[in-house]
Structure 1
């Protein structure tokens, strides 16, 4: 009987954890940048979130980029209401920028900013199903 109760509690805890999964988690497709785009997997990294390049595409065909496996979204901290702040790496120039994310369902607006956030370049990413 104790085993059944333990399994029931474990199932409830796991289901609650999945129900409370952060909407940022998952795989996202970037906009093309210099003719290439990527699928980026967003996962927990410590208390925040990071995104790693899983697959890369050029002119619509998958290819092996030297950027595969590198972290593009760095240490994004939840700010509430679907907003996150952290850093982003732009592979085309190798620079890291102050980053912001705003989620809207299966769309993500990702911004890389300079000058204290006054000048930003923004992409809209789509969730990959």
Structure 2
């Protein structure tokens, strides 16, 4: 094999290795339903990261208003649930998207890891210190 062929083969192998993480990063973009089936969340680029925003209310949660009433910040408690950013600053790191997740049910923001499952759904894990809770958001 010539030196040129060896270099070309090596360059192609490097590009193939680098392309795998890039492809994995793009696979979470899309629309999902929360685990209760109450809202749709659209995951899309936001700057150099990914974010997930409530893009549609499918049905109202029993006993809950359509406002962010549990937010720790009193000035945000009157904002509509529609349009709230649940996933923020997701960046690809070591096999998962890592950032933060806002939970309007308790008004808190948690560290998160987001992974795409084989069936196309998202596995969203929110953590405080050592305690984590995982939810699965099916594709909408």
The alignment's TM-score, normalised by the length of structure 1, stands at 0.70
Greater C-alpha radius of gyration: 2
More strand by share: 1
4+ aligned runs moved over 2 Å, structure 1: 57-60
Query: How many matched pairs?
Result: 101
Compute the displacement of 1:59 (Å): 6.3
Q: What is the alpha-carbon root mean square deviation over aligned residues?
A: 2.3
For structure 2, the 5+ residue unaligned runs are 1-22, 67-79
What corresponds to 1:74 in structure 2? 88
State how 1:1-129 maps to structure 2 within 5 Å: 22-32=26-36, 37-58=38-59, 65=66, 66-79=80-93, 81=95, 83-105=96-118, 106-115=120-129, 118-128=130-140
CA distance in 2, matches of 1:21, 1:85: 11
For structure 1, the 5+ residue unaligned runs are 1-18
CA distance in 1, matches of 2:49, 2:100: 11
The alignment's TM-score, normalised by the length of structure 2, stands at 0.65
